[in-house]
Structure 1
């Protein structure tokens, strides 16, 4: 009896039969396992790299939040030192602390806006630092020797509280009422120039209270994010603060603050008007 392979050959149909050996099959299985492992390991590497990038960005954002919170805490500590100096009847030292806080507050605001830092804890800490430094510490420059000075200091603190509670900025390019740091800068500069004359300080504080509770709009100066001359103004204040006498620094900061108070749109609101 003929075999099936012989029958096919006899009919003219070519038949090619390959039978895989057990050794070749094992090698193919091994190659498939290796390729599958490589694909899995490659996917794990991709996911690991993505996870590293996300964790790095989160750590970077967290670190900048910590830095801004630390600066706000330093601002509050300066305010507490100013309060201590006022109780110790060292008005020059107290005014010096307030001028440093004024420049530091500008830096904190710039970092928060530029890095898009949004932290509830940081915002609350910054508000508390502003109230302590530019509210309590600034009001104590008026002195608490007499009833009139004490009453005016209380009104100044209440005006600062009103400014923080009922006139929030909320990310808008303008704010209602004179910002507290500029009012504090005016008081500190006046205290340095007049050697702590309480009568002049009380007159100046009465005007600043009206400016703070007023509903007029003041633009955000954004000194470090605007024109070059504004950056030069800030840099000049920093240089004079640490390398010049008290009188020159106080006169410079007083002119800076008064220019913002009386010419908010003509000088400090120009870039914002263009952006709007």
Structure 2
């Protein structure tokens, strides 16, 4: 009997939410393939909310498992790897021909690499206070934004953005963990609401405000991480 068959029934609740996130990602791909870019972005926005929800449900129900972690990674690869890569190619990068496809593929491969590395460095029951590289949903959010602002972006600038996100995901940047901290969690919620506003009202002004807030979140998380490290060392 394999691990999936041994999982308690409650563990299928977050797994069902993960499946819904994957469904949203697949729907986004279908919409992007028919050049319906705004609905495609909305589907990915729904996938982001579902991705947040499945993890919270798993922890609240004490239903974390290796199976759930692997399923979540497959869902992230589809919804925040394949779908955004297809989306940005169909919206902007297609103008570059095969070179545009290579750029989109670079983002996809970088995202999958980041997910695999994360799984190898962690397990379903224990989280490190640090993570390596930019999370793939965060990178996907900038590709979603670029798609909405496609009339204001050239293929060259889009290429630079996509390649930077690919680099950020595969980088050795040691980022503080953004979970389990009251102040940072509240800031993350505000950041998510700001991103919703960016999706609904895409403009340079809203993108700049949202990006500035993201930097503040990282700064706050880093400060709290240092405080926790000092408190642990002093105890």
User: What TM bracket, shorter-length normalisation?
Assistant: 0.7 to 0.9
Equivalence for 2:68: 122
Q: Give the Cα–Cα distance (whole angstroms) in 2 for the partners of residues 154 and 188 of structure 1.
A: 16
Structure 2: unaligned runs, 5 residues or longer = 1-6, 230-235
Equivalence for 1:266: 219
Q: Give the Cα–Cα distance (whole angstroms) in 2 for the partners of residues 216 and 244 of structure 1.
A: 26
TM-score (norm 2): 0.75
1:134–1:180 contact (8 Å) kept in structure 2: yes
Which runs of at least 4 in structure 1 moved beyond 4 Å after TM superposition?
A: 195-198, 248-259, 262-265
- Per the alignment, do residues 251 and 128 of structure 1 end up closer, same or farther by CA in structure 2, a change over 3 Å counting? farther
Q: Give the Cα–Cα distance (whole angstroms) in 2 for the partners of residues 207 and 135 of structure 1.
A: 15
Larger radius of gyration: 1
Deviates more, 1:167-176 or 1:196-205: 196-205
The alignment status of 1:188 with 2:134, answered yes or no, reads: no
Q: Give the Cα–Cα distance (whole angstroms) in 2 for the partners of residues 84 and 245 of structure 1.
A: 19
Structure 1: unaligned runs, 5 residues or longer = 1-60
| Match for residue 246 of structure 1 among 200, 208, 223 | 200
1:267 to partner: Cα distance: 2.3
Number of aligned positions between the proteins: 212
**Bigger relative contact order, structure 1 or 2 (CA pairs below 8 A, ≥6 apart):** 2
Q: Give the Cα–Cα distance (whole angstroms) in 1 for the partners of residues 213 and 27 of structure 2.
A: 28
Q: Give the Cα–Cα distance (whole angstroms) in 2 for the partners of residues 249 and 110 of structure 1.
A: 31
What is the 5 A alignment of 1:1-276?
62-143=8-89, 145=94, 146-168=97-119, 169-170=121-122, 171-195=127-151, 197=153, 199=155, 200-222=157-179, 225-228=180-183, 230-231=185-186, 233-234=188-189, 237=192, 241=196, 246-247=200-201, 255-256=209-210, 259-260=213-214, 262=215, 265-276=218-229
SS of corresponding position for 2:145: helix
Deviations 1:114-164 (A, max 9, x none): 544332321221111000011000111221531111111111111011111
1:236 to partner: Cα distance: 7.2
